[in-house]
Amino acid sequence: MAFPTPPGILTQRDVRVAELDQTPPDALLRVYAWMQLARTADNRILDLFRQGLVKGTVTGGQGNEGLVVPLALLADKTTDVVSFTHRGFGGHLIWSGHLCDHLNQYFANAASPTRAREGNIHHGDPSHRSLPMISHLGAMLSNVCGATDSQRRLGRPAVGFAFFGDGSSSTGDIHESLNLASLLSLPVLFVIENNRYAYSTPVSEQFAAGTELWRRAAGYGIEGFALDATGDVAATANTLAAVIEKVRATSRPVLIEVHTLRLRGHAAYDTCDYLQPGESDAFFARDPLPKFRAQLAATFGAAPLDAIDAELGAFLEACVKTSLATPRPNPAGMEAGLYAPPSAPLPWIPSVGSTIENRESRIENLNAAQALNAALRKILTERPESLILGQDIATYGGAFKVTEGLFADFGRPRVFNAPLAESSCTGYCIGLALNGHRPIEEFQFADFSTEAITQIVLNAATMHFRSGAACPLVLRLPCGGGLTFGSFHSQELESFFLAMPGLKALYPSTPQDAFNALLAAYEDHNPVLLFEHKALYRRGRAPVAWDPNYRDVWSPKKLRTGDHATFVTYGEMTYLAGEACDYFAAEYEKTFDLFDLRALSPLKLDAIETSLARTGRLIVLHEGRLTHGFGAELVARLAEKHFDALKSAPLRIAALDLPVPFAPELEAAFRPTKEKIVDRIAAWLG
C-alpha cells in the first residue's frame, strides 16, 4: 500500500550544528516539526488505544521530545547506532522509515516492521543500526556498545546512543555496560531519561544516594553531566551537539542525565493516582513544546507554525487511514521465521590450519581442547569479522587453556579478556553480531551463563523472529561434571536453555567433532550454544583432519550397529554408552544401534527414527538431570511418532534431580556411571 507523501519539512532528518546558530534559525522550524509530529502521533496512538484499535502497552513519549528529537536530528543516521526506549517515538520517526511503518508497528498489521511478532514500540531498524528494544530494561545498552564497536572496527566514526530511564538505571546491566564501555573506550553516549518516575515509583523511593545520577560517571572513569531538556530546545540541541562531537572525537563514553518529562503517566492504562495534587499540572507547565512554539512564533510569526501544524495534522490522519487499511498479519511462515535462513558454507581453506605451509589436508593428533584451539585459530586467521572474548582467555589462555596462544598471535582487539560481566559481554556480542561481526564468547564455566540469561534467551534467541535480523554468535560453554567442581561449575544446562525457542546447540564428543562443530557453529547465522564437556577436553588425542563434510555435525552420528534397541546419547556419555554396548554384546549377546546426537537444536531425528522403527526399543542416556531433562523431549517425540513400533517402555537414564553434589562419592551417586547404566539397562531388559 502506498504511503502518503510526507510534508516537505519532514524530508530533512538532520540538523547540522552550524545550522543552530544561523539567523533566522530555520533549522529550529525543522526541530519543531519533528517534535510536533512526535507529540501529535503519540497522542493519536493513545486515542487509538482507547478505541481498541491499538493493543498492548502504549507508553508515550509526550514530554520527552525536547531530548529525543534534537538528539536524533543531530545523530549521523548513516553511521551511528541507537536503541531508543519506550519514550523514544520521536527518535524512531526521525531515524528511519515512514510514519506509516511506525503506525503499522502499533497496529501490529501485516506490514509491521516486526511482522506483528512484537508490539508497542519494540521495533527498530537493525539494518540502519536502530536496535529493537526488548522489554527488559537495561538490556539494550550493551547491544549499543557492541554495534558501535563494530562500526569503529570497520573504520566508521560512529557514536552510539544508549538511552535508559531513571528506573532502568538500577539494573545490573547498566553498571556492567558503563564499565564495559569505559574499559573498551567505546564512543557511546549514555543518556538517562530522568522523568523522576519508574511507573508509579518516584526517584525518592529508588535511590538512597540522591538523584544526581550523572555523578555515577566518575565511578567509571568517564565524563558525566546533567541537562534539562524541558527548557530551551535550541540550548538543549547545542549542548547535545557538543557532547556528540566530543564522543565522536575522543571515542570515550559520556553519561548524561537528562531531566525530562512523562506527561501522560507511565502508559495508557496508568491511573496516575500516585501523583501529588497539582503535580501533573506542574509537568505540563514545564512542557518544552508549547514554550518552543511560542519562542519560534516570536521570531517567525505564527503563520509558518500554523502551516506546519496543519500539514502535519493532515499527514498524520492520512497515515492513520493507510495503516488502518493494511491487512491483519498472517500466521503462515511464522515458524519458519524463528531462525535466520541457512548460511552458505564459508570458503574455508581445506586444512586444519590456515598457514601456507599446512594447506594440505593434514591430519593432526589433537585432544578436544587442542582441536577447539585449532578451529579458533583457523577462524581468526581466515575470517576478519571474527573476534573472541571471555574471562582470562588472553594471556592466560582460558581456564581450560582452549585459547592458549591466540592472544599472542592475534592480539587485541581480536582476542581479549572480558570483565566478570556475562550479561553485558553477551549483549555486546549481540550488538557486534547485528552489525556484521561474528563474536565467539567463552564462558569460563557454562554455569555462569545464567548471568546472561536475558541476553541469550530473550534477546539473541528471539532476534530473528521479531526483527528479521541475523544474530550470529557462538557461545562456548564448558559444561558437565565428574570433576569434583560442585554445584556451580558442573552443570548441564542444555534443557534449561533449549526450553526457549531460537537457539541452536551443538554438543561434540570427539576432537574431530569439536573442530567441525566450531566451524559449523561459526558460520551459522543464528546464536549457537557450543557445549564443551570439560572432561572431554583432555580425554585423549585423536586424528583431526580437514573434513569437507564438517556440517554433518548438525546430525546424529551412528557409532554402533545392533538389533535389540536404539540407544541415544551425547557428550561424555557417548563413551560410557559405548562401554555399556560392549558389555551387553559380550554378556547378553544383545547389540544396540548407538547414536551420538551431536546437535541438540534443531533436532534431526530421521536416522534415529529409522532405527527405532526397526528395533522397537529406545534407551536415552544423558548426564543432566532427569526431570525436564533433554531425554524427556527425545522420548516424548520418538514415542509419540513411533508408539506402534515400541515393544517396551522407553528407558531414560540421567542424573538425580539434585544440585550437583561436591564430593566424588556423592557426585558418582548423582551422575550416570558405567555401572549404573549397565544395571539400569539390565533391569530394563528383564
Ligand X SMILES: Cc1ncc(C[n+]2csc(CCOP(=O)(O)OP(=O)(O)O)c2C)c(N)n1
Residue showing cell 517534535: 35
Instruction: Name residues contacting Mg ion, limited to 85-144 (CB under 5 A).
Output: none
The CB-of-320 to ligand X minimum distance in angstroms stands at 25
Query: Does position 197 bind ligand X by CB under 6 A?
Result: yes
Residue 578 interacting entry, from Mg ion, ligand X, none, C-beta within 5 to 8 Å by type: none
The CB-of-57 to ligand X minimum distance in angstroms stands at 8
The CB-of-226 to Mg ion minimum distance in angstroms stands at 15
Query: Does position 59 bind Mg ion by CB under 5 A?
Result: no
Query: Does position 198 bind ligand X by CB under 6 A?
Result: yes
Rounded Cα–Cα distance for residues 466 and 482 (Å): 39
Rounded Cα–Cα distance for residues 508 and 532 (Å): 7
**In 203-264, alpha helices (H):** 233-250
Residue 414 interacting entry, from ligand X, Mg ion, none, C-beta within 5 to 8 Å by type: none
Q: Which range binds Mg ion by CB under 5 A, 189-197, 306-314, 342-350, 377-385?
A: 189-197
Query: Does position 68 bind ligand X by CB under 6 A?
Result: no
Please identify, using beta-carbon distances, which residue of 270 and 451 lies nearer to Mg ion: 270
Query: Does position 83 bind ligand X by CB under 6 A?
Result: no
Residue nearest to ligand X (CB): 165
Q: Is 163 helix (H, G, I), strand (E, B) or coil?
A: strand
The CB-of-138 to ligand X minimum distance in angstroms stands at 6
Please identify, using beta-carbon distances, which residue of 89 and 522 lies nearer to ligand X: 89
- Determine the residue type at 372: L
CB-based contacts of 93, cutoff 8 Å, min separation 6: 34, 37, 38, 41, 99, 102
Residue 266 interacting entry, from Mg ion, ligand X, none, C-beta within 5 to 8 Å by type: ligand X
**Which one of the listed residues 259, 266, 489, 533 is annotated catalytic?**
489
Query: Does position 165 bind Mg ion by CB under 5 A?
Result: yes
CA dihedral sign of residues 284, 285, 287, 289: positive
Query: Does position 195 bind Mg ion by CB under 5 A?
Result: yes
Instruction: Name residues contacting ligand X, limited to 266-325 (CB under 6 A).
Output: 266
Residue 171 interacting entry, from Mg ion, ligand X, none, C-beta within 5 to 8 Å by type: ligand X
CB-based contacts of 681, cutoff 8 Å, min separation 6: 580, 584, 619, 651, 653
Contact 557, 611 (CB under 8 A): no
Please identify, using beta-carbon distances, which residue of 185 and 280 lies nearer to ligand X: 280
Query: Does position 71 bind ligand X by CB under 6 A?
Result: no
Instruction: Name residues contacting ligand X, limited to 131-150 (CB under 6 A).
Output: 135-137
Residue 136 interacting entry, from ligand X, Mg ion, none, C-beta within 5 to 8 Å by type: ligand X
In this structure, the strands spanning 201-202 and 197-198 are antiparallel
Q: Which of 195, 490, 512, 566 forms a contact with ligand X (CB under 6 A)?
A: 195
Rounded Cα–Cα distance for residues 240 and 423 (Å): 29
Q: Could you check whether the bond before residue 24 is cis, i.e. omega within 30 degrees of 0?
A: yes
How many CB atoms sit inside 10 A of residue 647's CB?
10
Q: Which of 65, 166, 257, 422 forms a contact with Mg ion (CB under 5 A)?
A: 166
Please identify, using beta-carbon distances, which residue of 166 and 513 lies nearer to Mg ion: 166
Query: Does position 458 bind ligand X by CB under 6 A?
Result: no
Residue 135 interacting entry, from ligand X, Mg ion, none, C-beta within 5 to 8 Å by type: ligand X
**Which one of the listed residues 364, 422, 441, 667 is annotated catalytic?**
422
Please identify, using beta-carbon distances, which residue of 262 and 464 lies nearer to ligand X: 262
H helix or E strand, kind and range, residue 155: none
Contact 654, 631 (CB under 8 A): yes
Contact 500, 455 (CB under 8 A): no
Residue 489 is among the residues annotated as catalytic for this protein = yes
List of long-range contacts for 404-409, beta carbons under 8 Å, 24+ apart: 404/373, 405/373, 405/377, 406/373, 406/376, 406/377, 406/380, 409/377, 409/380
The CB-of-141 to ligand X minimum distance in angstroms stands at 12
Contact 530, 506 (CB under 8 A): yes
Q: Which range binds Mg ion by CB under 5 A, 144-152, 187-195, 293-301, 628-636?
A: 187-195
Please identify, using beta-carbon distances, which residue of 104 and 114 lies nearer to ligand X: 114
Q: Which range binds ligand X by CB under 6 A, 71-79, 159-167, 268-276, 658-666?
A: 159-167
Please identify, using beta-carbon distances, which residue of 61 and 187 lies nearer to Mg ion: 61
Please identify, using beta-carbon distances, which residue of 200 and 417 lies nearer to Mg ion: 200
Contact 112, 123 (CB under 8 A): yes
* Local structure of residue 460 (DSSP, 8 states): I
Contact 578, 596 (CB under 8 A): no
Q: Which range binds Mg ion by CB under 5 A, 158-166, 391-399, 400-408, 468-476?
A: 158-166
C-alpha cell recorded at residue 17: 550544528
The CB-of-201 to ligand X minimum distance in angstroms stands at 8
Burial of 448 per CB tally in 10 Å (0-12, 13-18, 19+): middle
- Determine the residue type at 15: V
What residues does 566 pair with on adjacent strands? 593, 618
Please identify, using beta-carbon distances, which residue of 265 and 439 lies nearer to Mg ion: 265
Residue 422 is among the residues annotated as catalytic for this protein = yes
Identify which of 464, 547, 558 has the alpha carbon closest to the alpha carbon of residue 504. 464
Query: Does position 463 bind ligand X by CB under 6 A?
Result: no
End-to-end CA distance of the chain: 68
Residue 176 interacting entry, from Mg ion, ligand X, none, C-beta within 5 to 8 Å by type: none
The CB-of-140 to ligand X minimum distance in angstroms stands at 11
Identify which of 655, 577, 638 has the alpha carbon closest to the alpha carbon of residue 604. 638
Residue showing cell 581442547: 369
How many CB atoms sit inside 10 A of residue 143's CB?
37
Please identify, using beta-carbon distances, which residue of 71 and 425 lies nearer to Mg ion: 71
CB-based contacts of 460, cutoff 8 Å, min separation 6: 426, 430, 433, 471, 473, 502, 503, 527
Q: Which range binds ligand X by CB under 6 A, 191-199, 387-395, 433-441, 676-684?
A: 191-199
Contact residues for Mg ion, defined by CB under 5 A: 165-167, 195, 197-198
List of residues contacting ligand X (CB under 6 A): 87, 135-137, 165-168, 171, 193, 195, 197-199, 262, 266
Which residues are known to be catalytic? 422, 489
